[in-house]
Amino acid sequence: MRRPRLPSRLPLDPYILALLGTVGLAALFPARGQAAGVASGAATAAVALLFFLYGARLSTREALEGLRHWRLHLTVVACTFVLFPLLGLAAGLLVPGLLTQPLYSGLLFLCLVPSTVQSSIAFTSIARGNVPAAICAGSFSSLIGIVLTPLLAAALLGGGSGGFSLDSLLKIVVQLLVPFLLGQFLRPRVGGLLVRRRQVLGLVDRGSILLVVYAAFSAGMAAGIWRQVSLPRLGALIVVEVVLLTVMLLASWYGAKRLGFNREDRVAIQFAGSKKSLAAGVPMAGVLFGAQAGLAVLPLMLFHQMQLMVCAVLARRRAQDPVPRAPDDVAEVSHAVRHPAAQGR
- pLDDT tens digits for range 79-115: 999 999 999 999 999 988 888 888 898 899 999 999 8
Q: Would residue 133 count as lying in a domain?
A: yes
Report CA-CA distances (Å) from 115 to 44, 138, 145, 241: 23, 6, 8, 16
Helix axes 118-126, 263-273, angle to 10 degrees: 150
Q: Would residue 345 count as lying in a domain?
A: no
Neighbours of 192 (CB within 10 A): 10
Q: Would residue 15 count as lying in a domain?
A: no
Q: Would residue 307 count as lying in a domain?
A: yes
Q: What is the pLDDT of residue 146?
A: 79
Residue 38, pLDDT above cutoff 60: yes
Dihedral-angle region of residue 272 (phi above 0 means left; psi in -120 to 50 means alpha; beta otherwise): alpha
Q: Would residue 1 count as lying in a domain?
A: no
Do the Cβ atoms of 337 and 307 come closer than 8 Å?
no
Give just the sign of the alpha carbon dihedral 52, 132, 147, 168.
Answer: negative
Report CA-CA distances (Å) from 173 to 82, 115, 146, 151, 284: 23, 20, 9, 11, 11
The whole-angstrom separation of Cα 66 and Cα 63 is 5
The whole-angstrom separation of Cα 284 and Cα 173 is 11
The range of the structural domain enclosing residue 161 comes to: 34-339
Task: Give the CATH number, domain containing residue 306.
Answer: 1.20.1530.20
Residue 35, pLDDT above cutoff 60: yes
Averaged pLDDT for residues 57-85: 79
Q: What is the pLDDT of residue 240?
A: 95
Q: Would residue 94 count as lying in a domain?
A: yes
Neighbours of 24 (CB within 10 A): 11
The whole-angstrom separation of Cα 203 and Cα 53 is 12
DSSP string, 126-168: HTT--HHHHHHHHHHHHHHHHHHHHHHHHHHHHHHHH--SHHH
Which residues lie below 8 Å from residue 235, measured CB to CB, with a gap of 6+? none
Averaged pLDDT for residues 279-301: 77
pLDDT > 70: percent of the chain: 74
**pTM (whole model) above 0.85:** no
Q: Would residue 9 count as lying in a domain?
A: no
Q: Would residue 270 count as lying in a domain?
A: yes
Residue 128, pLDDT above cutoff 60: yes
The mean-pLDDT minimum among 123-132, 134-143, 146-155, 157-166 falls in 157-166
**How many structural domains are present in the chain?**
1
